[in-house]
Chains A and B, each alone.
Chain A
Amino acid sequence: MSKMPLAGVRIIDLGTAAIGPTTTRLLVMMGAEVIKVESLTRPDTVRFGSHADDIIEGRFWETGGRHIWSDGGKLSITLDLENPKGKDVFKKLVKVSDIIAENYSARVLKNLGLDYEVLKEINPQIIMLSMRAFGSSGPRMHDIGYGWSLWAETGLAHLTGYEDGPPKATIIPFHDYSGAIWAAFSAVVALDYRRRTGKGQWVDVSMYECGVAQNAAAMMDYIMNQRVPTRRGNRNPAIAPQGVYPCLGEDKWVAISVTSDDEWHALCDVMGNPQWTKEERFANGLSRYQNHDELDRLIGEWTITVDHYEAMHLLQKAGVPAGAALNCKELLLDPHFNERGKFHRVTFPKVEGMEHLGTRIIPAPHFKLSKSPPQVRRTKLLGEDNDYVFHELLGIPVEEVEQLIAEGVAGTEPALAKTPIASGKFNPPARKLLGHILEYDENYKEILGLDE
């Protein structure tokens, strides 16, 4: 008997860009058979960006970092859903599947004649999981949400920023990744409901609503007390001092949160009890908060002399909550994450045009089930599973499959294989000179132990 929770569950993954592939990522790592469906003319945009070794040639659509992290373990087929034959194949697939996951805007599937109303006639037990910015109803239902726009609209932007300054934008599509958690949860609830009752359903997840619901208490402060919560940098009136302090080296920081007088004394001890710590104005939490600017400056005089990991260890040993502010590289090298086995090493086949992929790191999900270790596997090549799905799973005769390929309805060579990509290379050395990135390491593979 399989140890995987979602063994035997088949999911059609129409997801694109962020929330779609991320949600199905959680599901595939827990044992579901996820079939990623893409068009040859417009493969999923998740494939583009952070390309391996900054090489954007050859089979570059297979080597994008986000694609490798999101789509590992999923089967890959291509289908032109605008073509009637493509639609037919799709409907055949729906008949033998359990979930359809999609994050198009509300009109796309409707225009294709493949929305829930149609598909539940084909398979009444089907679970449709729609993940949209604003849901599938209401005045905004057709609007596309982007990471940065949802960040602004759900109120998190307003709540992020230095005390004296404007709200901050972010490079992370926060609501796609946090929304994916809620969407994956909903998918499993729907599966369980169906197992119990035999009934399918349409689940309509709105990233906007998940974002606002998640911050319920902030909303309640406004609703109850007419107070609009606003940004405070890194501070919190109940915790003083709290902040992110500069450490030894280039752009290294440690986060410190002093939540009690005991912790304050412990911090002072670790800093060697400098004279200033005995001043009356730092004696209790409230007055420490009131003198926060000066306090930050003084603490910074100590932290700047210490390595940020060292500062964390010294403080934690003394019982003070402290954490190094890890950058991307440090996250992947962090001893704790590695001991927890978070980062799996996955090896890619030596296919022409992507030989340089070799072995890469893909993280496991962030819950650990005692009996069900996650399956972390490589991405398949575009269309690699066309034969399996069309022929073996759906019983479509070989000649028909060949006809589909000949007509461009399915296949393995995307249209952009013939055109050079416009965006050019990311070019780390140039970016470093310009100060756009912190640093780059030519020997990163050696450091990560990815070389054969």
Chain B
Amino acid sequence: MSDEGMLSPYRALDLTDEKGLLCGKILGDLGADVIMIEHPLGNPARRLGPFYHDIPDSNNSLYWFAYDTNKRGITLDIEKADGRELFKRLVERTDFVIESFKPGYMESLGLGYEELEKINPGIIMTSITPFGPGGPYRDYKESDLVLMSLGGLTYISGEPDRPPLRITYPQAYLLSGAYAAVGSMMAFYYRGMTGEGQHVDVSMQECCEWASYFTPEWWDMAQTNLIRAGMWRVFGPAKMRMVYPCKNGYVSCWILAGPVASRGQKRLVEWMDREGMCPDWLRELDFKAWDIFSLGEATQEFLDGMAQAFTDFFLTKTKEELFEFARESELFLAPMSTAKDLFENPQLKARDFWVEVQHPELGATITYPGAFLKSTVASPSIRRRAPLIGEHNEEIYIGELGLSKETLTLLRGAGVI
């Protein structure tokens, strides 16, 4: 297996902010040479917390660290004529341009797809926008919550008698970044056959809808408009708890009907009995005879009683103990992991998931999440940390474009770089 990633012959120019950083990172993790082009005052994403040791410096944003691995960084003001010229020179020798400006912004600078295609007919330009380049919401403002809501994910999460809920850790930008990476590669593969580039349009609202995937089909197919179910699973007239507190956190546990599920549930009840925490009626319940109909006929009182018995028992056990038991006895139970649990997780360690990355500017080595897949050819890797502002100006402007040091100084003075 080589160290060279599968995308190592390719180059991308990344002009995105937090809305699209993940796309370039994915390409970079697979070996592409990704150049992050920032405004001389720095990418707005650098202001996003949390920060390294809570020191709010524009080189310390953990969001920036996380989603700009493997990118080199240069500064450039593309609103200035000199800046645009330099950008076009870079486009000549690049495969991908990724941007997340407002729809029409790049065109207004004479840097839209039609222009770039003239410079480099094979260019793949990927534009990530909140709602796409057209349509009634085109100019609407976004936030993660707004996008997730207009994508249908928010409505379907939470308790039915409380407001819809989003995932606290923002997903809209991440889904969009990943989606943009697929679209870009599709266009790239097309180029491999035809020599022609394409413009890839990614709407963030749509990417959010992808994650709520099968819920709209219920209405299209079966006239049914679903509602959020919170931490309950619904059977017939009654609801069964899915989320249970335990000694050191929470677990998710599905009580199901059918012969497969009954094995695990029987063993759970036996364990509870051994510890003297099993009510008689529960011990005598014949899970094997339970089918989807008896579950459907269960009363709320009955299901609540069962949930309470489990809760009382789970509260005496840790997530880890319960999960180990579940794995051995085929009980449908999973721990609700926190970041700490993930970091200590044996499966991730066995897969060499965590990577140490040098941060000489901090005098530190930081652990990052690493390869998201394994390949017999070349797995993703982190070769360098996220760039400091303008870190590779000399390397690229002087080293690759052949500008002189004096020119660079002039451009710096004029605010172009």
Contacts and interface: CB of A to CB of B under 8 A. Distances in A.
B373 A206 contact: yes
Contacts of B250: 157-158, 166-167
Interface residues of A, number: 166
Interface stretch (B99-107, B191-199, B302-310, B402-410): B191-199
Contacts of A324: 149-150
B348 to A, nearest CB: 7
Given A137-B350, A243-B163, A171 B226 contact: yes
A444 interface: yes
Interface centre among B166, B178, B182, B245 (most CB of A within 10 A): B182
A146 B187 CA distance: 32
A123 interface: no
B268 interface: no
Contact of A65 (B65, B148, B178, B222): B222
B169 interface: yes
Interface string A210-227: 101111111111111101
Given A171-B229, A221-B339, A323-B146, A181 B334 contact: no
B19 to A, nearest CB: 13
Contacts of A257: 143-146
A203 B181 contact: no
Given A152-B337, A444-B223, A174 B372 contact: no
Given A220-B65, A323-B150, A370 B199 contact: yes
B146 A336 contact: no
Nearest to B61: A217
B398 interface: no
A251 B160 CA distance: 9
A319 B233 CA distance: 40
B136 A336 contact: yes
25 contacts: A5-B189, A50-B218, A134-B347, A138-B346, A138-B351, A158-B337, A161-B168, A168-B243, A169-B242, A171-B229, A177-B210, A181-B210, A182-B372, A192-B185, A218-B339, A232-B168, A244-B166, A255-B154, A334-B150, A339-B135, A360-B220, A365-B183, A370-B198, A435-B160, A438-B225
Interface class of chain A by DSSP: mixed
Given A65-B217, A257-B146, A438-B226, A192 B165 contact: no
A289 to B, nearest CB: 14
A228 B211 contact: no
A120 to B, nearest CB: 9
B271 interface: no
A139 interface: yes
Nearest to B205: A336
Contacts of A236: 145
Contacts of B41: none
A336 B131 contact: yes
A1 B194 contact: yes
Contact of A366 (B209, B346, B348): B209
